[in-house]
Structure 1
């Protein structure tokens, strides 16, 4: 029987920002027969996720982890010459997985997408990337390569699955299965009224996303967004008894996107604020051995509503109030996306999913469809 994967829903996904696309490619073959027994974690359990970006967008990045695995992040510094990326790669496989970006570059080049270099039509696609450390979950030698990136790029669109998919196939969040999550907000008032902010995050932290005392994600004030309720006592006891992750190497990586028109320094502010969302959702976060990295993209499809403008002191950027409002939204969608990654993940390689451990928490409903609706 084929698993029905949770699907990101309109109104609560990064692709609510027009022009953004998401594609996954992963392999999950997490159990192999050894004699008469089965042994988890020796097959494939990894993948890559590609976020495509429309032409003309501005991009930035903020790296907070002490052990990041990244590519082309220096290029996105505000003082450098390139203003934006053509796609962002989020991948498993640790540093080995960075090769998946080669396949994305190859696919973009064949489509003529990239930084124009001459009159003959040659381009250089700008494809920054970040990795998670998932090598112990499957076979150590089984990691994403250029083909993974190329296939994920080919699959990119507005509709995409969440949970144990793409770069989140082998992710682990503390004692539970991690994965890919997404969320979005359209600002309804203030200087950023009408602008949308979305996030897609791969959650693979050593820190916990679920409070072991309550069995619910940190930040109880936002639980209604995920339709959760306190789990049964027996399930809570089981959750507390789970063994901690066997490695201190951890990473949460992702992309924040908005349809606003922003400068590169302003986009960088969205990436920076997104890390507040990581700190809200993961405890502890930003350890010296993690690689927490967030990219940010502004498509420039919309401008702020002039009727919602506020007075700005002279000497400050005129859009500072808009950026502040978008930064607040960035933190919220990153937090929600991390929780969504854990809520929608399924058990892989013996790493139990939240849904399997505390099924009663979902008695109030489920915030993501399975693609059958």
Structure 2
């Protein structure tokens, strides 16, 4: 895949830790994991949750009206609410690095987290814990594995195997925007009447062609297997210097990337959540044409928000197309092999 990576934003690092029993079928053995996004010091953040049943930690702290400004890491993890324990391991690891809010006697790392519901994929009791989080943080680097890794190991995308995807864009202003997503959607990433992405531009970008009618019919016929208890979670990062309130606005805009590529999304039974991180490394001068009644951030936030939606949409496609089989869940390549007219695109 050549869509870029969230680590193209300078200082952002990503680590995965997972466990997958190769011979385990659906509902047995290990099939879950944790993905951690580490930030450089001074990174601000915000979050926007649009699902009706989220599993999250420290999201209230990210409200721009609250006191703590800086984020040390974000955890994306399997295990449903149990998996939030992975953040404990990330906090311990960050404490050892001296990262966090300085207090009398030590530091308190700020580690927001969100979970996907993957408990039925592996064994119900096989879920991430603090050691998953610690190991993911310790392994973080600039190379980001995609597909069936980290928090994407137990992920589904409708009836297909989901996974981790990432992408990035650099704007004319020199600002870089990147995204990483764990695609675990109740909705489908492909039109069941064509077997192709909902947006035709991704057919060309990822080298897909119309699969045979029998493959499309087989794909559409599996919809009785759908589970409504799913969630897609993501982190968008930028090197622009924007405020926590600006980060919130970018997170809102980034959700458009999910709406473009997953249908349906933002349902009452999912926890679709997008975090935004801003490292502040790139200062963009305010646009002098901005009306005095508006925040000087408005033009920059408009551009970053549009790029964030594009990045997140591409990351969704990367995650689903790169996924490998797990727990008997078929991949897009398994069900619709005729879509791959140009193998070199993958």
TM value normalised by structure 1 = 0.89
Match of 2:99 among 96, 113, 123: 113
Deviations 1:73-120 (A, max 9, x none): 0000000011121000000000000000000000000111111113x5
Equivalent residue number for residue 354 of structure 1: 332
For 1:182, what is the secondary structure of its paired residue?
Answer: strand
Q: Is the 8 A contact 1:344 1:355 kept in 2?
A: no
1:220 aligns with 2:204: no
Change (3 A) 1:310 1:351: farther
Tell me what 2:53 maps to. Answer: 67
5+ residue gaps, structure 2: none
* Contact 1:31/1:40 (8 A) holds in 2: no
C-alpha separation in 1, matches of 2:225 and 2:143: 32
Number of the residue aligned with 1:36: none
CA distance in 2, matches of 1:172, 1:270: 26
- Cα distance in 2, alignment partners of residues 116 and 177 from structure 1: 42
Return the match for 2:264 from 279, 284, 304: 284
In structure 1, runs of 5+ residues without a counterpart are: 1-7, 33-38, 369-373
Check the 8 A contact 1:30/1:41 in 2, yes or no.
Answer: no
Counterpart position of 1:273? 253
Counterpart in the other structure of 1:84? 70
CA distance in 1, matches of 2:244, 2:52: 24
**CA-atom RMSD, angstroms?**
1.5
**1:12 correspondence with 2:4:** yes
Q: Given that residues 25 and 47 in structure 1 are in contact (C-alpha distance below 8 angstroms), is that contact kept between their aligned partners in structure 2?
A: yes
**Structure 1 pair 239–148 and aligned structure 2 pair: CA distance change class (3 A):** same
Partner secondary structure for residue 342 of structure 1 = helix
| Residue 170 of structure 1 pairs with residue 170 of structure 2 | no
Residue in 2 that maps onto 1:336:
314
- Judge which range, 344-353 or 231-240, deviates more: 231-240
Shift of 1:243: 3.8
Q: Deviations over 1:246-267 (max 9, x none)?
A: 4211101010000100001001
Inter-partner Cα distance in structure 2 for 1:366 and 1:277: 25
Aligned equivalents of 1:41, 1:228: Cα separation in 2: 32
Deviation digits for residues 163-207 of structure 1 (CA, Å, limit 9, x no counterpart): 01100100001010011111111113xxxx211111000011111
TM-score (norm 2): 0.96
* Separation of aligned partners in 2, 1:344 and 1:311: 43
CA distance change for structure 1 residues 357 and 310 in 2, over 3 Å: closer, same or farther? farther
Question: How many pairs align?
Answer: 346
2:35 alignment counterpart: 49
Match of 1:302 in 2: 282
In the TM superposition, residue 367 of structure 1 has moved relative to its aligned partner by 4.5
Aligned to 1:150: 134
Question: Residues 16-31 of structure 1 correspond to what in structure 2 (within 5 A)?
Answer: 16-31=8-23
Aligned residue number for residue 186 of structure 1: 170
2:166 partner SS: strand
